[in-house]
Amino acid sequence: MKTLKDVECGKTAKVVKLHGEGAVRRHIMDMGITKGCEIYVRKVAPLGDPIEITVRGYELSLRKAEAEMVEVE
Partner 1 sequence: MELRIALAGNPNCGKTTMFNKLTGSSQRVGNWPGVTIDRKSGKIKGTDAELIDLPGIYSLSPYSPEEIVSRNYLIDERPDAVINIVDATNLERNLFLTLQILDTGIPTVVALNMMDTVEKLGDKIDVKKLSEGLGCPVVPVSALKGDGVDDLVKTAVDVAGNGKAPVPVKFDHRIEDVISHTENAIRGNVPNELIRWYAVKILENDECVLGQHPEVRSSVSGPISELEEEYDDDSDAVIADARYGTIAQIVSSSVTKAKRDEKGSLSDRIDRVVTHRILGLPIFICIIGAMFLAIIGYGDITGIGTYFTDMLNGYIGDELMPAAEQWCADNGVSDVLTGLLVNGIIGGVGAVIGFLPQMLVLFVALCILEDVGYMARVAFVMDRIFRYFGLSGKSFIPVLVGTGCGIPGIMASRTIESERDRRITAMTVTFIPCGAKLPVIAMIAGALFGGNGMVALFSYLLGIVCVLISGIILKKLKSLSGTPAPFIMELPPYHMPSWINVLKGTIDRGWAFVKKAGTIILLSCVILWFLMSFNTSFEFIGTDATTDSILQVIGEAICFVFQPLGWGDDWQLTVGTITGLIAKENIVGTFGVLYGIEAGENGEGLEAVLAAALTPAAGLGFLAFNLICAPCFAAIGAMHRELGTWKATGIAVLYQCLLAYGVGMIIYAVGSIIAGTEIHIGSIIAAFVILAILVYLLVAKDPFRQLGDREAAA
Candidate residues 6, 52, 68, 71; the one interacting with partner 1 per rule CB under 8 A: 52
Q: What angle do CA 61, 64, 69 make, to 5 degrees?
A: 100
Task: Using alpha carbons, select from 6, 15, 4, 16 the residue that is nearest to residue 53.
Answer: 4
Residues 5-24 that bind partner 1 (CB under 8 A): 17-18, 22-24
Question: What is the rounded distance in angstroms from the CA atom of residue 27 to the CA atom of residue 73?
Answer: 21
Candidate residues 3, 6, 40, 50; the one interacting with partner 1 per rule CB under 8 A: 50
Residues in contact with partner 1 by CB under 8 A are: 17-18, 22-24, 26-32, 34-37, 43-50, 52, 56-63, 66
